[in-house]
Chain A
Amino acid sequence: MKILKLLSKIRNCIIVGLLIFMALPVFGAEIFFDSKTPTITSGAQFQVDLLLNTENKSINAVEGKVIFPSEILELKEIKSGNSIINFWVNKPKIKQNGQVIFSGITPGGYKGKSGLLFSLIFLAKNQGQGTLEVNNARTLLNDGKGTEAPLSIFSYQFNISQEVENQTPPPNINGNLILNNLPDTEPPEAFVPKIARNPSIFGNKWFLIFETQDKGSGIDHYEVKEVRHPSFGIFSNWVQAGSPYMPSASPLLLKDQELRSYIFVKALDKAGNEKIAMLSPKNSLPWYENYDNWLILIIIIVIILIVSIVTIRLLLKRAKISRKYIRKKD
């Protein structure tokens, strides 16, 4: 009887122990929101940051989908300039109304408690309560195998109160919301575009690769132009990478597969600051095909002609004067 009671006690202890163990939070990475705006009023703009806590693990890849209530919030801007993500596979963008998808990597991994993934700037359209959530999120360990790290996601609940009359409009400089930050006046960082080719893409044709960062407002877009004659480059237009005229951004299939063109890549941030990088042609043009050489040649010939004419005229004039002088003397 005593043994049975003892066994029963042991069983109960095991069950309680198991329940306590199961109730403990799973140790893993965390994705959470943070906002410096304590109260949100209708008609005002506010910023919410999406952050990553790696819980002392090294994480090198993140993806997910932010869901926001589009009936009360309007997404005005996505800022990714100061992100811990170095290369975006999917730069944060609106997929459909109320959804922002993102995925990217940090070479070598990130380890920290509050790594900024990106910031969302919303306009509170209407009064009401809402929640920002992250769905289909995934964080991968920097272990060379792509092992998925356990992940906890914390949603963000907010309340939009009634619009306050005579409310000061949010500061706006150069058309950009600044939300207590200095406006971005610094251009994107210097970068070096590369050309490469590989049998796996574009049928082994030459393509262009470019990527830079802007720590202020973030990169808005890139523009590219290929010109064979740099002196005439000012007459050719920049084409936006990713536009209907140039659907793909980096990697970008080069128009000049002979690699005889100068390639210019312009990175523009969201505040309009720009940085231009140039690649010299791999193969130079024969001298007679280079318009610049012809232009220089023509200019030199014209100069020689003019100098010759002026010199001849001066000599003639001098001869005339000397003849006059001799005649006078005679």
Chain B
Amino acid sequence: MKKKQKNIFIFLFIFFLGSIFLISYNALFAASEAVINATIKISVCGNNIKEDGEQCDVNDFGGATCQSLGYAHGTLFCKPSCEFNISNCTSGGGGGGVGSVSSSPTAVNFSGRAYPASTVSILEDGQLAKTVMAGSDANFNASLSGLTSGNYTFAVYSEDNQGRRSSLDTFPVILTKGETTTVSNIFISPTIAVDKSEVVKGDNLVIFGQSAPGSDITISINSQQEIFVNAKADDTGAYLYNLNTNSLDLGQYITKSKAGLNGELSPFSEAVSFTVGAESILNQSEGCSLKGDLNNDCHVNLVDFSIMAYWYNKANPPANIDLNNDGQIDLFDFSITAFYWTG
């Protein structure tokens, strides 16, 4: 009787454990709104057999030596974590040892100026990695950690209080394992817009946008000779310049701006175009209309790249995907997409 009861209790216990596992497993899946990233590696560290995911295991180095790892001399050891211990490997002349790999996270910090209370987006290799808010003084700080060592292309852009985006500033950075790299003094280019797409010669054209408060704005207008005019950003970062078009010939022009503050200079903004012609046409707000935004979600990102990639080198692509209207999807279309990229 006692044995029977014991068996029943064991049976019950197993069922209990099983149900707890299943319930928590399902709860976990139900709760995960977005993504769970997991690394699955099956290996036993310490069994003296080097398996997948291990650099070494006790005395099994898989044939690796200090020399095969690029060092001149020394003896290779194995850490309890099954990683190479290269502290006794020396590089040339029997000189000083090379330190073992640090266990601190590989990270990158960004700081700089955008626009007051604006959203700053950080792209990591073209994909949106983080968004942060700039302060009322337009300064921002952001940090990305948990990265692996290697070459990265980080890009930063911001959006002003009217939803206009800055151009994308890119930074190629080489990250070292266990070290934090800092990218500072980023000065995001101003936003820019014009009040008319066409202006009657002699009328005023308003060029405006936003930058850091108190910035000196240099506006370039390309004509036969490039014209430079200056404006000052106010306390909210807004700037405005009334351009008298009397001195301009009839024709199409592009204008762009850059900002300067405390000896630091931003890159030039994106260029916007206007025409000096026979009539004045006010610029209509086009919402978030962006070239390269093929699915009209106000972003140019991997989704748009994938839609374009589907039509790459295929006959008769849809007109909205063929960005340069040459009847085919080729590198030129991808280049235009890369310029307008928002991540």
**A110 with B12: in contact, given A63-B331, A140-B332 (CB under 8 Å)?**
no
A171 CA to B152 CA, complexed, in Å:
27
How distant is A111 from chain B, measured CB to nearest CB, in Å?
7
A140 CA to B149 CA, complexed, in Å:
28
Contacting residues, chain B, for A111 (C-beta < 8 A):
170, 172
* Cross-interface CB contact of A292 among B12, B26, B63, B291, cutoff 8 Å: B26
Chain A 190-217 interface 0/1 with B at a Cβ cutoff of 8 Å (1 = within): 1111101010111000010101011110
Chain A 120-131 interface 0/1 with B at a Cβ cutoff of 8 Å (1 = within): 000000000000
Contacting residues, chain B, for A63 (C-beta < 8 A):
331
Check if B281 is an interface residue, CB within 8 A of chain A: no
Q: Are A296 and B19 in contact (CB under 8 A)?
A: yes
Q: Are B331 and A276 in contact (CB under 8 A)?
A: no
Check if B228 is an interface residue, CB within 8 A of chain A: no
Contacting residues, chain A, for B123 (C-beta < 8 A):
107-108
Binding site for A on B (CB under 8 A): 5, 8-9, 11-12, 15-16, 18-19, 22-23, 25-26, 29-30, 32-41, 52-55, 62-65, 68-70, 83-84, 123, 125-127, 146-153, 155, 168-170, 172, 270, 291, 294-295, 302-303, 305-307, 309-312, 318, 320-321, 323-324, 331-341, 343
Check if A7 is an interface residue, CB within 8 A of chain B: no
Q: Are B29 and A300 in contact (CB under 8 A)?
A: no
How distant is B131 from chain A, measured CB to nearest CB, in Å?
14
How distant is B238 from chain A, measured CB to nearest CB, in Å?
25
Q: Are A215 and B149 in contact (CB under 8 A)?
A: yes
Q: Are A110 and B170 in contact (CB under 8 A)?
A: yes
Q: Are A193 and B35 in contact (CB under 8 A)?
A: yes
Check if A92 is an interface residue, CB within 8 A of chain B: no
Q: Are A211 and B302 in contact (CB under 8 A)?
A: yes
Check if A182 is an interface residue, CB within 8 A of chain B: yes
A140 CA to B324 CA, complexed, in Å:
13
What are 5 A-B residue pairs whose CB atoms fall within 8 Å in the complex?
A82-B150, A144-B270, A274-B39, A278-B37, A280-B34
Q: Are A83 and B151 in contact (CB under 8 A)?
A: yes
Contacting residues, chain B, for A296 (C-beta < 8 A):
19, 22-23, 26
Contacting residues, chain A, for B30 (C-beta < 8 A):
280
**A216 with B69: in contact, given A174-B52, A185-B83 (CB under 8 Å)?**
no
A280 CA to B22 CA, complexed, in Å:
17
Q: Are B125 and A86 in contact (CB under 8 A)?
A: yes
**A273 with B53: in contact, given A108-B169, A172-B63, A215-B149 (CB under 8 Å)?**
yes
Q: Are A144 and B170 in contact (CB under 8 A)?
A: no
How distant is A130 from chain B, measured CB to nearest CB, in Å?
26
Q: Are B29 and A230 in contact (CB under 8 A)?
A: yes
**A310 with B307: in contact, given A200-B320, A280-B33 (CB under 8 Å)?**
no
Closest 5 CB pairs of A and B: A215-B150, A107-B341, A171-B68, A146-B332, A108-B168
Contacting residues, chain B, for A106 (C-beta < 8 A):
126, 153, 170, 338
* Cross-interface CB contact of B153 among A84, A180, A193, A211, cutoff 8 Å: A84
Which A-chain residue is minimally distant from B69 (CB atoms)?
A: A182
Check if A231 is an interface residue, CB within 8 A of chain B: yes
Check if A279 is an interface residue, CB within 8 A of chain B: yes
A207 CA to B312 CA, complexed, in Å:
17
Chain A contact-residue range equals 35 or more
Which A-chain residue is minimally distant from B320 (CB atoms)?
A: A200
Chain A 246-287 interface 0/1 with B at a Cβ cutoff of 8 Å (1 = within): 000011000000000010000000001111111110000000
Q: Are A109 and B170 in contact (CB under 8 A)?
A: yes
Chain A 165-180 interface 0/1 with B at a Cβ cutoff of 8 Å (1 = within): 0000001111000101
Check if A50 is an interface residue, CB within 8 A of chain B: no
How distant is A318 from chain B, measured CB to nearest CB, in Å?
13
Contacting residues, chain A, for B22 (C-beta < 8 A):
231, 292, 295-296, 299
Contacting residues, chain B, for A146 (C-beta < 8 A):
323-324, 331-333, 335-336
Q: Are A108 and B37 in contact (CB under 8 A)?
A: no
Q: Are A279 and B148 in contact (CB under 8 A)?
A: no
Q: Are A194 and B302 in contact (CB under 8 A)?
A: yes
**A250 with B306: in contact, given A60-B338, A84-B172, A280-B32 (CB under 8 Å)?**
yes
Contacting residues, chain B, for A211 (C-beta < 8 A):
127, 302
Check if A181 is an interface residue, CB within 8 A of chain B: yes
Q: Are B312 and A142 in contact (CB under 8 A)?
A: no
Chain A 55-67 interface 0/1 with B at a Cβ cutoff of 8 Å (1 = within): 0001011010000
A10 CA to B52 CA, complexed, in Å:
76
Check if A89 is an interface residue, CB within 8 A of chain B: yes
Which B-chain residue is minimally distant from A59 (CB atoms)?
A: B335
Check if A319 is an interface residue, CB within 8 A of chain B: no
A186 CA to B69 CA, complexed, in Å:
17
Check if A73 is an interface residue, CB within 8 A of chain B: no
Q: Are B32 and A89 in contact (CB under 8 A)?
A: no
Q: Are A107 and B150 in contact (CB under 8 A)?
A: no
A173 CA to B83 CA, complexed, in Å:
13
* Cross-interface CB contact of B339 among A60, A86, A276, cutoff 8 Å: A60
Which A-chain residue is minimally distant from B155 (CB atoms)?
A: A108
